[in-house]
Each structure stands twice: as C-alpha cells, then as structure tokens.
Structure 1
Amino acid sequence: MKPALITAGASGIGLAMAQAFERAGYHVHVTDIDAAALGACPAQWGRHQVDVTDEAQMAEVIGAIGAPDVLCANAGIAGPTALVEDIALSDWRACVSVNLEGAFLTASKAVPAMKAAGRGAIIFTSSTAGIYGYPNRAPYAAAKWAVIGLMKTLAMELGPFGIRANAICPGSVEGDRMEGVLAREAAIKGMTRDQVFAGYAAGTSMRRFITAEEIADMAVFLGSDAARSVSGQVIAVDGHTENPDPKL
C-alpha cells in the first residue's frame, strides 16, 4: 500500500486525515508529541512519537518510513491571543517554531526520498488566518501566511520531480477547541453559547462551522491522482468566509 504520513495525526484534524487516508487504501503513519493519543490510534498504523521542531527526530521518522506518497504537514498550535505589544518573544517563537519550522522540517526531511521516487504530494495545513489579517493573533497569522509562501516555493521547486504541493486553509472547525472558545466568549460577554456561535457563523455563507472530516476529504483529494495537475494552490475549507471574525 502507498504510505501516507500525517504529522499531529493522533487527534483533531490530523486524526481525521489519517482515518480518511486509511479508508482510501493508504498505509497510514502518524506522528504526534502526545504519547497517550498515539497509543489510542489503530495498531495497524505506524505510530511515531515525534516533536516536529526536532530536526533529528524528523529525520529519523522519515528514514524509517521512506518516501511517502502523501505527506501532510499538519502540526500546529494556536499560540497566544494578545495585542502585538503584549506578546512575549518566547511565545512568538514557540508558535512560529511549531507552525512554520515544523512544516519546513517535515517537508525538507522527506523531499530527498520523494525526489528519488519521482512522485508524491505534500499537503500543508495552513488556516484562514493565512489568508486574512487576524487581530490579536499575530504569531499564528504570520506563521500561517509563511506556510503558504513555503508551499508555493516548494510547488515550483518540486514540480519537475513529479511532486505537488498545496495548502488547505481550514476555517472554524467543530470540536472541543472551538467549543472552548465559544464558552469563554459567552462567559465574558454574558451571552449564550448559541449567540456567540451565531456571530461566528454569520461570517460564512454556509452559516455553520466545518468538520475535521471535511478537511480530511480535501486532503485525500489533493493527494490523489484526481488532483494530479493541482499544485501551488491555497484551498480554503471554511464554508466560504467573506468577512472573517477577527476573533477566530
């Protein structure tokens, strides 16, 4: 079976991607920093406890897998929520390190084997924060914009070797993280959860959050032969966000 490697693949969007690629017939490998989450993943998956910001660990896991047919550079963290003058340099660096340097290391360590194989698709998880400016989220938005620049550069560099690169930009995703956001905002504003949700959903034409599975479906498409001429593209899976709420 064709190997697919998903970073941060033991939970959330990454887990949905891993499950979708398994259904599509791939041999799934996931990395995650969370040992407990990895242990809960199916035994037939390749499970690798890895910090994506550690160059040696990323080199080791790629060496063990070889050339992935699909590489999903998915690992990321939210980073601080604050005005730029209130963000500590250490928090900035931590956010950029995981979101941008982790994506760089994931791709750079896999590219030599993928070039030798003469095939492959690299899929970066960016964000709608990589398309729009987001007040109070400077490090996250900056890193996600940079991921798109990295992707477009790799699409140019790697196309002659039969390797495609694209980026998915999720919007607000259903799940524990966004439920926490809704609860915190509701408490601060003296509103109900549903009232806060309505404010977020109003920024999308579909008036709803998206699911991790919808993002995973796009990843499987981008990794497949059906997308064999799709490269260098930024694809939002966000229910059509025209005027994003800057709190997202």
Structure 2
Amino acid sequence: MSRVLITAGGSGIGRAMAQVFHDAGHDVWVTDIVPVTGVPWRASLADAADEAGMAQLFADIAESWGTLDVLCANAGIAGPTATVEDVELADWQRCVSVNLEGAFLAAKYAAPLMKAQQSGAMIFTSSTAGIFGYPNRAPYAAAKWGIIGLMKTLAMELGPFGIRSNAICPGAVEGVRMEGVLAREAAAKGMTRDQVYAGYAAGTSMRSFVAAEDIAQMALFLGSDAAGRVSGQVIAVDGHTENPDPKP
C-alpha cells in the first residue's frame, strides 16, 4: 500500500486519480484551492503555486504519514486563449505559476521525504501542449513544455535515490475544463464549439477525446512496482494526437 499525494485532486483528472488509487487500496491525500468534501480520503486546502502553503502541506504529510511514496503533481489552469501580442503579462505569469511553479514546489518538498526512504515516484501532468506547439495558447504550452524539462531533470537528479519521475500528456479530456477551452478557442477563431470539438477529435488517430479515468489509470501504473524501471518518460494518453490545431 502506497501513500499518494495528488494536487488539484478535487475534480477532473485529479479526482479520477484519487478514486483509482483509493480503489486500488492506497492511502490518498488530495489538495485543492476549494474544499473537497464527501470523499473517503484526506483533503487539504492548498494553492499549488503558494510556497508557504505547500511547505505546510508537506510538513503535515511528514507528521501524519512520515513519508510519501507517490506524488501526482497535477495542478494546472488553462490560461488565456489569445494571440501572443494580446496575452497580458499577468495572465502569462499566473498560468506559468500554477502549471510549472506548482509542479516545481511539489517536487521540491516531496524529494526529501522520498530520498529518506530511497524510493518514490513523481508523476507530472503535462499535456500534448507540452509536445506540440498550440496556436493561441502560448502560456499554457510554454508551462507544459517546462514541466517535461523539469521531469527529465528530476529523473536524472533523483534516480540515484531510487526515485522515478515521469510525465503524462493528456490530450483533449472530456469534462468541464475542456468545454471552457472549446468555448474560448471558438470565440478566438470565429468558429462554433462543435467545429472546434470536431477539429480536436479529427486530429487523433482514434478520432476521440479521452476520459479522466484514462489518465488516472496511467498514473496508477506509473506509481506501481510494475513501472519500477520506467523513468524520464513522456507518455501521451491522447488517442494519438497528430494535428493539435483544430480545424472544422
């Protein structure tokens, strides 16, 4: 049984991860910026981009659990949908802060706990935007590429301590968050929501979006002994994205 921390575990991909790890018999602790209630696992309020809050979270984990086996650094926001000249610096900074600095802070405070036990798995939620360039999504794509650089560095840095590091790159995931992306992208490109949706689906060889549970099942594998020699890898769970620029 592993002790698993999931940031942004209150909804979407994070909630699916929590459910899958819990169902597999692991101890689960989630954080989110809003209260998480009515769940059979632990939950804390925390902003992934707030260092003081994250330091306190890991102090609480050390006191309660003593260590940590699996980190799912999942916190992220979509950021603005706009051409680069129309992106406000404050919006850029907030998007990069939550997506990239949030992942850094989680890894920074998880590393000492995992080093002490000479084992652990760090799983970062990147995106297919961390593999391809995405028009009108410069802050998000830059942050998600940054996560992959962070992950690969940590795989080398922490590997000697028995700590594995990998990144999952979801494609278009069914749910509320993706609906917001579709609406913003449709407005930015003068298209309908259904045209943008069709463009995303047509850009995959499987002609489909993915479900949050698809991402969660990959996280469960990467956190398990079955992935004991899997590290430094960028794994897309996206139905094979070929064309990231949606067209009608």
Shift of 1:245: 2.0
Question: What amino acid does structure 1 have at the position aligned with 2:172?
Answer: S
Q: Which whole-Å CA distance do the structure 2 matches of 1:190 and 1:107 have between them?
A: 39
Question: What amino acid does structure 2 have at the position aligned with 1:60?
Answer: Q
* Mapping of residues 38-187 of structure 1, within 5 Å: 38-40=36-38, 42=39, 44-66=40-62, 67-182=67-182
Distance verdict in 2 for CA 1:51–1:163, change over 3 Å: same
Q: Which whole-Å CA distance do the structure 2 matches of 1:159 and 1:199 have between them?
A: 40
Question: What amino acid does structure 2 have at the position aligned with 1:59?
Answer: A
Secondary structure, counterpart of 2:81 in structure 1: coil
Task: Show structure 1 runs of 5+ residues with no match.
Answer: none
Question: What amino acid does structure 2 have at the position aligned with 1:118?
Answer: Q
Shift of 1:61: 1.1
Q: Which whole-Å CA distance do the structure 2 matches of 1:134 and 1:191 have between them?
A: 18
Q: Which whole-Å CA distance do the structure 2 matches of 1:240 and 1:13 have between them?
A: 19
Q: Is the 8 A contact 1:134 1:246 kept in 2?
A: no
Aligned pairs, number: 242
The two structures have a TM-score, normalised by structure 2, of: 0.92
Secondary structure, counterpart of 2:149 in structure 1: helix
Q: Is the 8 A contact 2:133 2:141 kept in 1?
A: yes
Q: Which whole-Å CA distance do the structure 1 matches of 2:135 and 2:193 have between them?
A: 23
Shift of 1:189: 5.1
Shift of 1:2: 2.1
How large is the RMSD of aligned CA atoms in angstroms? 1.8
Q: Which whole-Å CA distance do the structure 1 matches of 2:95 and 2:210 have between them?
A: 24
Q: Is the 8 A contact 2:197 2:246 kept in 1?
A: no
Q: Which whole-Å CA distance do the structure 1 matches of 2:11 and 2:237 have between them?
A: 19
Q: Is the 8 A contact 1:32 1:50 kept in 2?
A: yes
Q: Is the 8 A contact 1:16 1:213 kept in 2?
A: yes
Q: Which whole-Å CA distance do the structure 2 matches of 1:63 and 1:81 have between them?
A: 37
Q: Which whole-Å CA distance do the structure 2 matches of 1:158 and 1:190 have between them?
A: 46
Offset from partner CA, 1:22-47 (integer Å, 9 cap, x none): 01111000000012xx124x1x3111
Offset from partner CA, 1:117-142 (integer Å, 9 cap, x none): 11110000000000001111111100
Question: What amino acid does structure 1 have at the position aligned with 2:37?
Answer: G
The two structures have a TM-score, normalised by structure 1, of: 0.92
Shift of 1:208: 0.6
Question: What amino acid does structure 1 have at the position aligned with 2:90?
Answer: S
Shift of 1:173: 0.3
Question: What amino acid does structure 2 have at the position aligned with 1:241?
Answer: T
**Quick check: 61-70 or 45-54, which moved more?**
61-70
Q: Is the 8 A contact 2:75 2:103 kept in 1?
A: yes
**Quick check: 44-53 or 96-105, which moved more?**
44-53
Q: Is the 8 A contact 2:72 2:122 kept in 1?
A: yes
Identity of aligned residues (%): 71
Task: Show structure 2 runs of 5+ residues with no match.
Answer: none
Q: Which whole-Å CA distance do the structure 2 matches of 1:192 and 1:108 have between them?
A: 39
Shift of 1:68: 1.4
Q: Which whole-Å CA distance do the structure 1 matches of 2:56 and 2:213 have between them?
A: 29
Q: Which whole-Å CA distance do the structure 1 matches of 2:69 and 2:208 have between them?
A: 33
Q: Which whole-Å CA distance do the structure 1 matches of 2:186 and 2:104 have between them?
A: 37
Shift of 1:179: 3.1
Question: What amino acid does structure 1 have at the position aligned with 2:53?
Answer: Q
Offset from partner CA, 1:83-126 (integer Å, 9 cap, x none): 11111111110000000000000010110111001111000000
Shift of 1:198: 2.4
Q: Is the 8 A contact 1:133 1:246 kept in 2?
A: no
Partner residue, 1:233: 233
Secondary structure, counterpart of 2:241 in structure 1: coil
